[in-house]
């Protein structure tokens, strides 16, 4: 029998970490930030890794500081170096990579993953690859050590 699981029934409040890497993304990052801000799941941290942008990206991010958990703006070794910095800072059980020109498609994306994923049998097995949907990479951080650094 199929039974819906509601957010209020979840006893383990899984944290969702959203990592956004960017460089000179002033023209697109506002919509990205807004899509994370509109999520209905409260246990979200949004980590921004900026490659020392010169176009006002950091100013836009700072305007949203009430919902940004961490902002790092410094030169880096490229997108994969920036992604690894974000993962190292992430403390959530679920980690998303959300590009600075993408948006979460619905306000309940994080809630759906945080509520449903722990109950799916596939996540209890030896999962060794991320699940990719709509250019957003979602996976359990606990499995990352077994995955290795996919982005180096």
- Residue 36's CATH number: 3.90.550.10
Please give the pLDDT value at position 124: 41
- The predicted model gives 110-131 an average pLDDT of 52
- The predicted model gives 127-133 an average pLDDT of 41
Could you tell me if residue 93 is inside a domain?
Answer: yes
Could you tell me if residue 80 is inside a domain?
Answer: yes
Please give the pLDDT value at position 15: 85
SS3 (DSSP) at 82 = helix
Indicate the pLDDT class of residue 41, thresholds 50, 70 and 90.
confident
Could you tell me if residue 5 is inside a domain?
Answer: no
Alpha carbons 38 and 44: distance in angstroms, whole number: 11
DSSP letter for each residue of 17-36: EEEEEESS-TTTHHHHHHHH
Number of domains in the chain: 1
Alpha carbons 18 and 7: distance in angstroms, whole number: 19
Could you tell me if residue 9 is inside a domain?
Answer: no
Alpha carbons 88 and 138: distance in angstroms, whole number: 15
Could you tell me if residue 4 is inside a domain?
Answer: no
Alpha carbons 85 and 13: distance in angstroms, whole number: 24
Please give the pLDDT value at position 16: 87
Alpha carbons 21 and 18: distance in angstroms, whole number: 10
CB 65 within 8 A of CB 36: no
**Where in the sequence is the domain holding 37, given as residue range(s)?**
15-147
SS3 (DSSP) at 68 = coil
pLDDT at position 140 over 50: no
- pLDDT tens-digit profile of 3-19? 554 555 544 567 889 99
Average pLDDT over all residues of the chain: 75
Could you tell me if residue 65 is inside a domain?
Answer: yes
- What's the pTM value of the predicted model, to 2 decimals? 0.70
Lay out the sheet containing 131-133: strands in order across: 70-73, 44-50, 16-22, 94-97, 136-140, 131-133
Indicate the pLDDT class of residue 92, thresholds 50, 70 and 90.
confident
Q: Which of 69-73, 102-106, 116-120 has the lowest mean pLDDT?
A: 116-120
Could you tell me if residue 110 is inside a domain?
Answer: yes
Could you tell me if residue 1 is inside a domain?
Answer: no
pLDDT at position 37 over 80: yes
């Amino acid at each position: 029998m199929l039974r819906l699981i509601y957010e209020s029934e979840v006893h383990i409040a899984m944290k969702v970490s959203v990592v956004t890497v960017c460089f000179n993304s002033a023209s697109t990052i506002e919509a990205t930030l807004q899509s994370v801000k509109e999520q209905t799941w409260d246990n979200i941290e949004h980590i921004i890794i900026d490659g020392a942008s010169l176009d006002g990206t950091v100013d836009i991010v700072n305007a949203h500081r009430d919902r940004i958990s961490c902002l790092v703006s410094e030169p880096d070794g490229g997108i994969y170096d920036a992604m690894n910095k974000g993962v190292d800072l992430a403390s959530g059980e679920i980690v998303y990579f959300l590009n600075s020109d993408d948006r979460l498609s619905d306000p309940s994306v994080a809630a759906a993953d945080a509520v449903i994923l722990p109950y799916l049998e596939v996540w209890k097995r030896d999962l060794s690859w991320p699940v990719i949907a709509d250019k957003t990479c979602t996976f359990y951080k606990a499995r990352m050590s077994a995955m290795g650094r996919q982005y180096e």
